[in-house]
Amino acid sequence: MTWITKHWKAISAFIMLLALLYFMIFHWGRFLADFWPFDASRVGPNLVASVVQYALLAILFVLLYPPARRAVERFALRHAKDIKDHVSAEHKRLHDKLAHHEVMAKHNADLLNHIIKHSPDIPDFPHPLEQATPQGAK
């Protein structure tokens, strides 16, 4: 394969860019009246100008899309990695904190049971989840 057949997209984009620059530099006065900004009128010159506008925007999109896409992907992946690392670290910290709270809750429950069991001043209360026996009305 020759060099031209390998790089035909880049060559055609460069030629279109040169044509665009030529028309923008030497024929700007012809585009100025109906070219910018986009308007909603439906007369012939404005429709032709709209077709030219969209053609130029398509050319610019084709020229700018590949490098911009790669830059946006690199930016997004770099920041997504930072966010993922931060979320993972925060998740680990919260998991460790929850494990600590579970240990402390078990310790507090054991301590409370020990105090209740060995303190003669505390009456023996029924478990709160058990049904209390109804008291008779006086």
Q: Please, are residues 57 and 45 in contact by the beta-carbon 8 Å criterion?
A: no
The reply to whether 137 falls in a domain is: no
The reply to whether 46 falls in a domain is: yes
d(Cα 33, Cα 60) in Å, to the nearest integer?
21
pLDDT at position 124 = 66
The residues of the chain scoring below 50 in pLDDT are none
Q: How many CA atoms lie within 13 A of 108 on its CB side?
A: 6
Could you tell me where the DSSP H helices lie in 1-138? 3-6, 8-26, 28-35, 44-118
Number of domains in the chain: 1
Domain that holds residue 73: 3-87
pLDDT at position 101 = 94
Report the predicted TM-score, pTM, of the whole model to 2 decimal places: 0.34
pLDDT at position 58 = 83
Place of tokens 């032709």: 48
Residues in CB range of 126: below 8 A, 6 or more apart: 132
The reply to whether 106 falls in a domain is: no
Place of tokens 């620059």: 21
Tens of pLDDT along 4-33? 777 777 787 788 788 878 877 777 666 555
The reply to whether 63 falls in a domain is: yes
d(Cα 64, Cα 41) in Å, to the nearest integer?
29
**Does the N-terminal peptide bond of residue 67 adopt cis geometry, omega within 30 degrees of 0?**
no
pLDDT at position 92 = 94
